[in-house]
Structure 1
């Protein structure tokens, strides 16, 4: 078998040069992509929220609410065109925010247990969670000798559910996908209590055709900020740019207008 002739040195050098050029081109392309992500990140992001009146909800096919309208003001401040907003059950939205790069989930309550799972732009608002009962049942629940007999409805994986677990109250928790189902179960006597944001509860009840006077806050749970939670692989500059815009909008008159519109 003939012995192959050695590759002449100039050819080997040319091959090495080509390989080096390819590596440099790849590195420059990756750097360019990173710079593009930093520059255009808010426009190349998937935004997900839940039905949580009056912070985010669907009306006539459009996602409205304090959190959603504030997001639109932030986009406008950054010069970013309005982006689609997806509405998903909270457990699904939360999982997407943890596992899918390029995702922002709002309004996410910022808690110690979630701190390292996301990058944060805060706050949308400061919220307070509590347990509510039918007004006619409040006295019975407050003097209940056996908390283990009480059944509490929560939104699955919501911070109110986590806050309830952290209190170590010996109640039975029944999580569901949305608050409207919890209220139907409460009205039917299948739940003793429901967990929700305290200031929002009267507005939620009115939006569903219920009289807020028929319900009462029974037990406070926790208070925290709600935020825009970015997937943890998001470039820091993307989050910082968003935070600067959020700070600017919250300092202006339009944020105060949104609060009056949705919370007062």
Structure 2
């Protein structure tokens, strides 16, 4: 009987502790989640630049919805632009989140982080008939390079002393590349493939002049985000990763974009 009472007391203590942990969040706590068009990681239906809730598509959007559900944290989700405005809102306003964000030495202290959600490669793209092919970024110096304003691909090049001529979206960069207004397009792979299909451009018209960086993508949260929120979301993501390739069941051909996130997670511990 004593053993039964002891077990009951321990169970009650466990439930009490679990409830206390849940109670750490403010009443009616909700995160305003935002992202912009960055296919196939996040995008609107029919390539629209604005979407809400379940209309926001993509492998990162699917993962983010899943981990918020598992963590029991309320949110609202909007896809819109420009990226620079969303970035500043997340950095300066409470209870905001932004994905898919590359974590860099420059921005690591500006947010709280959950990830990695996925990976992409950074490439320099050229017209197929240009003959351009590089072994290093240094060889691209002096060429007119188009980039996405405040995007991680452009910001990395700038950190390496390589100037970019930035547009507000990558669709414009593809048009510039094909009309000779830029020599190279600094873009994430496979993002460029989506825009090529969208504009009716065969991939054979373009060539990767240099693939120079593999980069993980994260959910960035406002710096005032309660640690309990970060802990719950990260635990939920680790559960998703442990289950395998959950998060891209709708697009199995894109699962290679999340295969490395478990390795990155383990390496960061």
TM over 0.5: yes
Q: CA deviation at 1:141?
A: 7.7
Tell me the TM-score normalised to structure 1 length. 0.76
1:221 aligns with 2:235: no
Match of 2:91 in 1: 98
1:56 aligns with 2:42: yes
Give secondary structure in 2 for the equivalent of 1:244: helix
Alignment partner for residue 112 of structure 1, among 99, 102, 105? 105
Unaligned 5+ segments in structure 1 are 1-33
Q: 1:122 to 1:174 in 2, by over 3 A?
A: same
Q: 1:112 to 1:205 in 2, by over 3 A?
A: same
Within 1, Cα distance between the matches of 2:233 and 2:139? Answer: 48
Match of 2:152 in 1: 159
Within 2, Cα distance between the matches of 1:256 and 1:84? Answer: 19
Within 1, Cα distance between the matches of 2:242 and 2:78? Answer: 24
Quick check: 1:164–1:221 contact (8 Å CA) kept in 2?
A: no
Report which of the two has the higher share of helix. 1
Quick check: 2:24–2:228 contact (8 Å CA) kept in 1?
A: no
Q: How does 1:65-76 map to 2 (within 5 A)?
A: 65-76=58-69
Within 2, Cα distance between the matches of 1:214 and 1:133? Answer: 9
Q: CA deviation at 1:231?
A: 0.8
Give secondary structure in 2 for the equivalent of 1:64: coil
1:245 aligns with 2:218: no
Within 1, Cα distance between the matches of 2:85 and 2:68? Answer: 24
Quick check: 2:44–2:79 contact (8 Å CA) kept in 1?
A: no
Give secondary structure in 2 for the equivalent of 1:69: helix
Within 2, Cα distance between the matches of 1:147 and 1:241? Answer: 43
Aligned residues: 227
Give secondary structure in 2 for the equivalent of 1:250: helix
Q: 1:249 to 1:136 in 2, by over 3 A?
A: same
Q: How does 1:27-42 map to 2 (within 5 A)?
A: 35-37=24-26, 41=29
Q: CA deviation at 1:232?
A: 0.9
Quick check: 2:25–2:229 contact (8 Å CA) kept in 1?
A: no
Alignment partner for residue 192 of structure 2, among 187, 193, 201? 201
Q: CA deviation at 1:81?
A: 5.7
Quick check: 2:35–2:86 contact (8 Å CA) kept in 1?
A: yes
Within 2, Cα distance between the matches of 1:222 and 1:40? Answer: 41
Q: CA RMSD in A?
A: 2.9
Within 2, Cα distance between the matches of 1:226 and 1:159? Answer: 10
Q: CA deviation at 1:176?
A: 1.2
Unaligned 5+ segments in structure 2 are 1-22, 257-269
Match of 1:135 in 2: 128
Q: Which 10-residue stretch deviates more, 82-91 or 54-63?
A: 82-91
Give secondary structure in 2 for the equivalent of 1:209: coil
Q: CA deviation at 1:92?
A: 1.1
